[in-house]
Amino acid sequence: MNDWVDAEQHAERARAFFQSGQWDHALTELQRALALNPQQFEWHYGMGLTLDALKRYDEALASYELVLKLRGSDPEVLAHIGDDLIRLGRYEAAIESLERASTLDPDYEPGYCSRIIAYTKLGDHEQAEAMFYLARQTKDTCPRCFEHLGHSLLARGQVDRAIWCWQQTLKHSPDHATARALLAQAHYSRGQVERANLYFEQQIAHDPQDVPSRVGLAKLQIELDRPEDAVRSLRRIMEIDPTHAEAHYLMGDLSIQCGHVEEAEAELGMAARLDPQLHGVHLGLAQLRGIQGRYAEARDLLLIELDKPDHSPREAIALSRTLMDLHIFDEAIALLGRLIEETQPATPADRTLVATMLQHRGYALLVSGRRERGIVDCRRSLRYEPQHGATLHNLALAYLEAGDLLRATIFHKRALAVPPEDRQVRQVGHRIRRAKLAAWFQKCVDRVLRR
C-alpha cells in the first residue's frame, strides 16, 4: 500500500514539474513512480512526452511502445510514435505508424497531418498534398498542416504558395514557434530583403533565444550594408551561445571587410576550431592570408574550403572570386559549373545568382584563354541580367581581342549606358578606337599596295 501511495506522489510531482517546464525533474519523478508501479501505462505515456520535450526521441519511442503493449493500439500514441520516427529520419516507418492511427480512427486529424511532412521528406509531394486535403476533411484549420505543406511547396520551388501557407499558419496560430522565421527565409530567397528583415525581427521579438533567426538577421544586415547593426546582432548571439561557430565566422568576415585584421584573425581562428567543416571559414582565412601576402598558405586554405561538400551558390561565388584572385581558374570553373547546372532560376533572386555565376565562370574562361566558351557564358548571363556592367565589359574586351570590332563596339556602348561610369570600360573604348584606326590604316595600305 505504501509503495502505491509513494508512486502516486511521485507521479503528481512529475505532472507539476512537466507543467512548469522542468523536464529533468519530471523525468526523475516518473522514473521513481514507474520503479514502484511499472504497469501504469499513463505514466509511461507521460515518460514519452517528457522525453520528447528533452529531445530524447529514441527513448520516447520505447516508452510509447510500452504504452501500446499495456493498453493496446491507440491513435494518439501511434501519432506520437510517427512524429518521433519523423524526427529520427525514419519516414517510411513513420508513415506506417500514422496509417495505423488513421485506420483506428479515420477522423483523427494528426494521422494525416504528420504524414504531410513524412511524404515531403521522401520527395513524394503528390502524396503530401493529398494528406493535406484529407486532413481538411476532418478539421477545417490546422496550423501544422499549413506549415508542413509550405515545406513541400518550397521544395518544389513554389515559393509564393509556401509563403501563403505560412501566413495561414501564423493566422491560425499567432504564437507559432517558427512561422515568422520560415516567412523570413522565404522572402529572403526571393530577394525581398526588407520583408525578410521585418519577419526576422518579429521572430526575435517573439522568441529572443531563437539563435538561427538572429543569424539570419545578421546576414541580412551585412547584405544591407548595416555593419554596426550586424555586429550588435552577432555579439548577442555569442552572449547566448559563446560556441556558435557561424557567429564567430560572420564576425571575422565582417572584420575583414572593415579592415580589422587582428580581430578577423581571432574570430576566424575561433570559428575554425569550433567547426572545421563550417562553410566559409577557410575561405575567410585564405582572404586574410592574401591580405597579409602569404599566398601559399592562402592557396592551401582555399583548397581545404573547396573540398567541403554542398556549397550554396552564394558560397560558390565568394569562393570562386578568391580562387581567381590567386589564378586558380580550373577549380573555380568546375565549382561554378556544378552549381550552375543544379540551380533552377525560378525566382528573381535565383536568376541573379545564376547570372553572377555565369559571369564569374565566363570571366575565368576568358582569362584562362578559353575565349569562345567564356563568351558563351557571358552572353548566357545577360539573358538573366541584361544590364550587368561587368559582363558587358568582359564581352566588349573578349570581342576586341578576337578582332570582332563591330560586336566589341556594341557591347562597349551597352556597358557605357550602365551607371556608374567605369574607368576600365572607358579604357576599352580607347582600345576599340585605336583598333578601328589601325584597321582603317591597314585597309588604306592594302588599297595602295593593290594599285
Query: Could you give the count of Cα atoms lying within 13 Å of 169 in the half-sphere of its Cβ?
Result: 23
Q: How many angstroms separate the CA atoms of 113 and 136, rounded?
A: 9
pLDDT attached to residue 137: 92
Q: Cα(first)–Cα(last) distance of the chain, in Å?
A: 127
- For the chain, the C-alpha Rg in angstroms (whole number) is 30
Burial class of residue 206 (count of CB atoms within 10 Å of its CB; 0-12, 13-18, 19+): middle
Strand spans (E) along 50-194: none
Mean pLDDT of the chain: 91
Q: How many angstroms separate the CA atoms of 451 and 433, rounded?
A: 27
Helix (H) or strand (E) holding 240: helix 227-240
What are the tens digits of pLDDT across the range 149-177? 999 999 998 999 999 999 999 999 999 99
Q: What share of the chain is helix, strand, coil (3-state, %, to 5)?
A: 80, 0, 20
What are the tens digits of pLDDT across the range 247-289? 999 999 999 988 899 999 999 999 999 999 999 999 999 999 9
pLDDT attached to residue 389: 86
pTM of the prediction? 0.77
pLDDT attached to residue 416: 85
Helix (H) or strand (E) holding 155: helix 143-155
Average pLDDT score over residue span 90-95:
96
pLDDT band (50, 70, 90) for residue 2: low
pLDDT attached to residue 438: 78
Average pLDDT score over residue span 38-46:
92
Looking at the chain, the number of H-run helices and the number of E-run strands are: 25, 0
